[in-house]
Structure 1
């Protein structure tokens, strides 16, 4: 019979308040998932049709799983390995699987955050280049190393450093994005961008691949199945209402993702560019944006600084998941765990960094970074999130989860258990049916 999770009483740092927790978790979720990944995923997958599928995935499936992961971390007061390990004796192995996903994602996330740092430096030098020129040398490598070392230095200080940065920088970033959306609305590409967002080719919703990308982006952008929410939830204050906090974070991340699209696509269409430019989309478009508007040089300084801050906040969240696992499972101090994790990232992330240098490191013609993002940031995290929710909902009694949700409202508890228990069954059935249809078609 499996062990039931119990709340462990131990001295553990906490966020200072529910608003501080929300700001920090929003910082972890907002980052590159919205400003970098959402526009390029939308650009590659049909605009409006992708947006519809993404919103359905977010509201119906992802929100309940998000609440469940935060509540599970709050219950166990530990990281992903510790939390899954308390479910049953095999849960610990699954926890390490989640940590490995985060290792893969964080390794290239640090590289992209390095790009934002490089663009920030270039903005202050008033010499912002489009991405092919920026990556002509070894900028990707040097800035990746700088970001990783800086993250290690901050994480040695603990959660308070993350909290302070998130509360100050996120609101300023939002104001800058809104201003850029206003500038975008004055361009010739605004009407084309409106069509791209709101004219839906409904036939595309029959495309299985579109739904896979939409679910992958929804899971990715809210950090589902990666251990982030479990780890952040383990530091949650006692009086936090988990559903309310998650709704605020999800609403914030969706709003910023949509604003990022409205910020980029009108300019992109005005410049006569195509929306399916891939992972470089933002870094190809934005330098041209700032070169084309009044005061663009100064706005570039502010925007790229804040872009870096948002990306860096997400890096800190990913690294915190890994540090918590190393510290708890290998009995390391926080400082020792930070050093080991940063060394691992420097080794693994180098492959992604080198894919955007003169070496052009690739797999079958595709940059290593893009390959890892497509695999780890897509189907793998969908499987991780669904299976993790199933483990929680089949092995933890509903009343136990209810005790740490921080609300008397049973509506979310019901939705969480409905999704957690039966979604895996539906997914398996769907895969069998689609597989059979493909075999019959052949």
Structure 2
């Protein structure tokens, strides 16, 4: 055990400062979940009422769990597996479960990131196509391979490469989003978009389906239960104020997601399109929108360039979770771990990439990518996040967590343990109740 900890300490570097840590975590959090998933989930779930439910879920539940995961990483200064080993043998099993979930998610995330790279290249060439045409050949496969190899090159340079990339990308992302929002404000659909955001159907707050989407989106975009936060927390500088840093990251993440809505929906309404078009909102609808707008070619370059930059930094974060676990658990050099993980991603991701080529790979009639996203990127994340919070709060004394929060304010400690200890129990009881009611209804019928 001593030898393993010695290896971890000798191989681990740290972010240079709290702002650098915030920029890198924000770059990891802001990705396809904000710019692709948030707008279409919002479009399918009533607009403004979804935003209200999402913000409540974020502030009441997700923020304490986020701080808890970062604090756990800072406490152990190890990988995801090493961190959860602190709670006992089951914690080790859970830590590897988180790594496997992250492997599954990152494998198809790299495919979608490849799509954004392909659209960026097409936009520069002035040949942006709708997704059906883009995926008619093997573009999905070639751009996935290119993206994965590029990510491997960045990761081989270790944590400082991610930090430098994040410092360059984050201001550029914000600038491009604000510019596109400004252009959207000049369209005829701006007023309709305002109504979509601010006219809230309060009666829908009683919908369990709405809250399920809201919590799922919050867990997904802030990377709860996926090992990202634990891994990034293990690199945190000593003097960082954890609640402040996490609030800053969540603020950036939420702002980008909302701005993405302001960027997309005015264009959608301007051309008489429906907001609830699902994933086609970005890859199917917007290419047509840009093609009909004055200066649309330049806007396409900006938009899809932003898409790729955000998706790529999130892909790097997922890969870092896996490579950190592999390197530290098997005592491998960083470059060796990166090589191993890259090979695994190329194998697993190819199945997802080929599901959107003429080969049309399917599992039970469903594209491989869609199946993995539905299983690993849905309820599994919520289950993983709640399980991790319960393990940390029930088996690690509050005093130990308090030492790494970076603040003497006990209010955050109280919130963390209230949510981490009792929310998983309440959710379990609720699930058992729903199961019992359904069984009773079935018997009664």
What TM-score does the superposition give when structure 1 sets the normalisation length? 0.95
* 1:281/1:326 CA distance change after superposition, 3 Å: same
- For 2:333 and 2:382, the matched residues in 1 are separated by 32
Q: Please tell me whether residue 63 in structure 1 is matched to residue 63 in structure 2.
A: yes
CA distance in 1, matches of 2:51, 2:379: 18
| Structure 1 residue 197: Cα displacement | 2.1
Q: C-alpha distance in 1, partners of 2:104/2:71? A: 25
- The CA deviation string for residues 303-337 of structure 1, in whole angstroms up to 9 with x for no partner, is 32232111110000000000011111122111111
Tell me what 1:387 maps to.
Answer: 387
Say which SS state the counterpart of residue 53 (structure 2) adopts: helix
Kindly state the Cα deviation for residue 431 of structure 1 after the two structures are TM-superposed: 1.4
Structure 2, gaps ≥5 residues long: none
Take 2:57 and 2:421, find their aligned partners in 1: how far apart are those partners?
A: 17
Tell me the TM-score normalised to structure 2 length: 0.94
Deviations 1:94-132 (A, max 9, x none): 000101110111011000100111011111111111222
1:372 maps to 2:398: no
After TM superposition, the structure 1 = structure 2 runs for residues 270-285 of structure 1, keeping only pairs within 5 Å, are 270-285=270-285
Q: Secondary structure at the match of 1:405?
A: coil
1:201 maps onto 2:182 in alignment: no
Asked if 1:288 is matched to 2:262, the reply is no
Alpha-carbon distance in 2 for matches of 1:392, 1:103: 22
Q: For 1:178-226, what per-residue CA distance to the aligned partner results, in whole angstroms no more than 9, with x for missing partners?
A: 1211222222322332232222333433332222221111001000000
Aligned to 2:222: 222
Q: How many correspondences in the alignment?
A: 437
Which residue of 1 is the match for residue 345 of structure 2? 345
CA–CA separation in structure 1 for the residues paired with 2:169 and 2:297: 20
Contact 2:180/2:299 (CA < 8 Å) preserved in 1? no
Q: What is residue 180 of structure 1 aligned with on the other side?
A: 180
Q: 1:329-365 CA deviation, whole Å, 9 max, x = no partner? A: 1221111111111111111111211222122223444
How far 1:147 sits from its partner (Å)? 0.4
| 8 Å CA contact 1:213, 1:378 repeated in 2 | no
CA change 1:358–1:276 in 2 (3 A) is: farther
Distance 1:273 1:136 in 2: 24
Partner of 2:23: 23
Give matches, 1:39-438, under 5 Å.
39-438=39-438
CA RMSD of aligned residues (A): 1.8
Worse overlay, 144-153 or 184-193: 184-193
Could you give the per-residue CA deviations for residues 416-436 of structure 1, whole angstroms, max 9, x where no partner exists? 010011011110122123333
For residues 276 and 100 of structure 2, what CA distance do their matches in structure 1 show?
Answer: 29
Contact 1:264 1:285 in 2 (8 A): no
State the shift of 1:49 in Å.
Answer: 2.6
**Given the superposition, is the C-alpha separation of residues 435 and 90 from structure 1 closer, same or farther in structure 2, using an over 3 Å criterion?**
closer
The worse-fitting range, judged by mean Cα deviation, of 221-230 and 357-366 is 357-366
* Aligned twin of 1:3: none
Provide structure 1 residue ranges, at least 5 long, that are not aligned to the other structure. Answer: 1-5
Question: Take 2:130 and 2:307, find their aligned partners in 1: how far apart are those partners?
Answer: 16
